[in-house]
């Protein structure tokens, strides 16, 4: 009956996208999925038609109506061109949680980690993916890393709720808060705070570099791992690859209102149009989608038929191994093999069970933000100056002291170079001059900052941006330069 069908928005994507989407849709339909796909076009082809954003209003309209998006990978131009449609979609639809289960299927798919079953929960909206980038001088470019308290609270709570609903035992957090003390420091702090509400779990935090090494070496030691956007992006590919193939893992992008399901890999343009690609990653995204739209019994049929196919040694090139595999197949043939096994269960691998599938969204009750007593105590003025002589520039900048403001230090790429510098320290044309209230523990007004900039522009200095330096309830809201 038509009214039974759940409308879903489908993008067939670029590169291998159309082939793997056709295969995944064929399987889930044959398994009895009650869906009504609405195709939209996004990405390269739309961009080439002259739509700079790569997505048209009609596509947004479909997404906002169906609230469920099944998406094949999209090519994102590197270094220029349109912004990542994946990132735009995730952020515009508020899909803050990216859940990526990475499971090994030993001995049927070769892996060095037979017992691997790790779920990466990646923050999906913030961090360096805000896409706020600037060229500021001839020599220096910047990308802003934004981490918010509500954003961190939402993703960390999601990770713990996911762990609770899926009977997981441990939740690990990765950050680099020894270096990024404020941004990653906040994420870690929120992990510790929210973790208190989930006493049943073992909890741990790793610095991301050694954590990544440990994950790649001993993934069995991890269960649910939550991390900021960039680390999660990189490490979920690593985790999927060491589980067997990047072509195997799917992901759910969950928001409060909408959700998007996809493979974790990209559009693999070199493999496109050859009936080679493994559709399993996207199919796993589809299984997560079926659970989300309330068709867990179909998800189970699909997943178990797929496990049986893998057990039967019917493998695409990326996981095919002489001796272990029985038959090397293309995208279409893999789909046919899965369809032929619908209704069957794996014999050795653990069968999937979604009978009691937990819902995938989480109810958030974000507390009201506590507003601190915020005091302006200084300003960092960033300037372009083309000589590589910090002492000379520091002396020039001291001439702007007065009106209750004084230069405290000058730094270059975060290293203090005035007063006192090492001749070994390399300087670019991008400088940060820290001006503070003249009086110890004094405050500044915005007008004093404007006056300082006015004096600088009259002297012909090129200030490229400022950052106000605040205290929040007496705590410094900025980090000192290295060497300060």
Residues that bind ligand NAD (CB under 6 A): 16, 20, 73-76, 86, 246-247, 262, 265-268, 270-271, 277-278, 281, 318
Among residues 43, 150, 159, which one has the least CA distance to residue 100? 159
Cβ closer to ligand NAD: 123 or 262? 262
Cβ closer to ligand NAD: 168 or 328? 328
Q: How many CB atoms lie within 10 A of CB 62?
A: 20
Nearest approach, Cβ of residue 182 and ligand NAD (Å): 29
Cβ closer to ligand NAD: 258 or 381? 258
Nearest approach, Cβ of residue 15 and ligand NAD (Å): 6
- Only one residue has tokens 């009504």, namely 36
Gap between the Cα atoms of 445 and 449, Å rounded: 7
Cross-strand bridge partners of residue 263: 250
Nearest approach, Cβ of residue 367 and ligand NAD (Å): 33
Nearest approach, Cβ of residue 74 and ligand NAD (Å): 4
Cβ closer to ligand NAD: 73 or 255? 73
Nearest approach, Cβ of residue 112 and ligand NAD (Å): 18
Among residues 393, 477, 398, 391, which one has the least CA distance to residue 435? 398
Cβ closer to ligand NAD: 234 or 340? 234
Cβ closer to ligand NAD: 76 or 295? 76
Instruction: Dihedral sign for Cα 208, 210, 213, 219, please.
Output: negative
Cβ closer to ligand NAD: 20 or 109? 20
Cβ closer to ligand NAD: 184 or 318? 318
Nearest approach, Cβ of residue 19 and ligand NAD (Å): 9
Element (H, E) at 92: helix 85-92
Cβ closer to ligand NAD: 12 or 341? 12
Is 211 in a helix, a strand, or coil? Answer: helix
Nearest approach, Cβ of residue 76 and ligand NAD (Å): 3
Is 136 in a helix, a strand, or coil? Answer: coil
Cβ closer to ligand NAD: 309 or 448? 309
Backbone phi, psi, residue 260, to 5°:
-130, 140
Residue nearest ligand NAD (C-beta atom): 266
Gap between the Cα atoms of 151 and 414, Å rounded: 27
Backbone phi, psi, residue 380, to 5°:
-95, 120
43: left (phi over 0), alpha (psi -120 to 50) or beta: left
Gap between the Cα atoms of 342 and 337, Å rounded: 9
Nearest approach, Cβ of residue 240 and ligand NAD (Å): 10
Gap between the Cα atoms of 228 and 248, Å rounded: 23
Nearest approach, Cβ of residue 205 and ligand NAD (Å): 27
Nearest approach, Cβ of residue 266 and ligand NAD (Å): 2
CA angle 350, 308, 6 (to 5 degrees): 90
- Annotate 330-351 with b (16+ C-beta within 10 A) or e (fewer): bbeebbbbbbebbebbbeebee
Cβ closer to ligand NAD: 16 or 68? 16
- Annotate 227-242 with b (16+ C-beta within 10 A) or e (fewer): bbbbbbbebbbbbbbb
Nearest approach, Cβ of residue 86 and ligand NAD (Å): 4
Kindly write down the DSSP assignment for every residue of 351-382, as one continuous string.
Answer: PP--TTPPPS-----PPPPPPP-EEEEEEEEE
């Amino acid at each position: 009956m038509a009214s039974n069908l759940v409308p879903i928005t489908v993008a067939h994507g670029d590169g291998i996208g159309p082939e793997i989407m056709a295969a995944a849709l064929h399987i889930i339909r044959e398994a009895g999925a009650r869906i009504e796909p609405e195709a939209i076009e996004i990405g390269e082809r739309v961009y080439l038609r002259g739509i700079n954003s790569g997505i048209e209003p009609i596509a947004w309209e479909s997404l906002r109506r169906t609230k469920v998006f099944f998406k094949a990978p999209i090519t994102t131009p590197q270094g220029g061109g349109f912004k990542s449609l994946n990132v735009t979609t995730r952020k515009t639809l508020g899909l803050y949680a990216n859940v990526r289960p990475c499971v090994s299927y030993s001995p049927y798919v070769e892996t060095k980690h037979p017992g691997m079953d790790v779920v990466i929960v990646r923050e999906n909206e913030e961090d360096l993916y805000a896409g706020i980038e600037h060229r500021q001088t001839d020599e220096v470019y910047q990308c802003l890393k934004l981490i918010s308290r509500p954003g961190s609270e939402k993703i960390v709570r999601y990770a713990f709720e996911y762990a609770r609903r899926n009977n997981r035992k441990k939740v690990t957090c990765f950050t680099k808060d020894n270096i990024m003390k404020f941004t990653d420091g906040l994420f870690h702090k929120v992990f510790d705070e929210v973790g208190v509400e989930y006493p049943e779990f073992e909890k741990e935090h790793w610095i991301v570099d050694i954590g990544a090494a440990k994950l790649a070496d001993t993934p069995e030691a991890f269960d649910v791992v939550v991390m900021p956007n960039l680390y999660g992006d990189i490490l979920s590919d690593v985790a999927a690859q060491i589980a067997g193939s990047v072509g195997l893992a799917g992901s759910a992008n969950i928001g409060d209102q909408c959700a998007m399901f996809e493979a974790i890999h990209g559009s693999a343009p070199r493999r496109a149009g050859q009936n080679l690609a493994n559709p399993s990653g996207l199919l796993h995204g589809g299984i997560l989608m079926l659970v989300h739209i309330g068709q867990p019994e179909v998800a189970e049929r699909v997943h178990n038929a797929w496990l049986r196919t893998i057990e039967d040694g019917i493998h695409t090139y990326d996981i095919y191994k002489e001796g272990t595999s029985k038959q090397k197949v293309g995208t279409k043939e893999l789909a046919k093999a899965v369809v032929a096994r619908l209704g069957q269960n794996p014999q050795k691998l653990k069968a999937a069970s979604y009978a009691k599938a937990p819902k995938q969204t989480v109810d958030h009750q974000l507390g009201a933000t506590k507003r601190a007593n915020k005091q302006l105590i200084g300003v960092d003025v960033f300037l372009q100056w083309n000589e590589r002589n910090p002492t000379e520039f520091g002396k020039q900048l001291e001439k702007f002291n007065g009106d209750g403001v004084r230069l405290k230090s000058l730094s270059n790429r975060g290293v203090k170079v005035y007063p006192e510098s090492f001749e070994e320290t390399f300087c670019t044309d991008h400088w940060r001059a820290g001006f503070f209230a003249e009086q110890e523990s004094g405050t500044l007004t915005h007008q004093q900052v404007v006056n300082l900039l006015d004096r600088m522009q009259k002297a012909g200095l090129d200030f490229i941006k400022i950052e106000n330096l605040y205290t929040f309830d007496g705590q410094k809201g900025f980090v000192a330069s290295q060497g300060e």
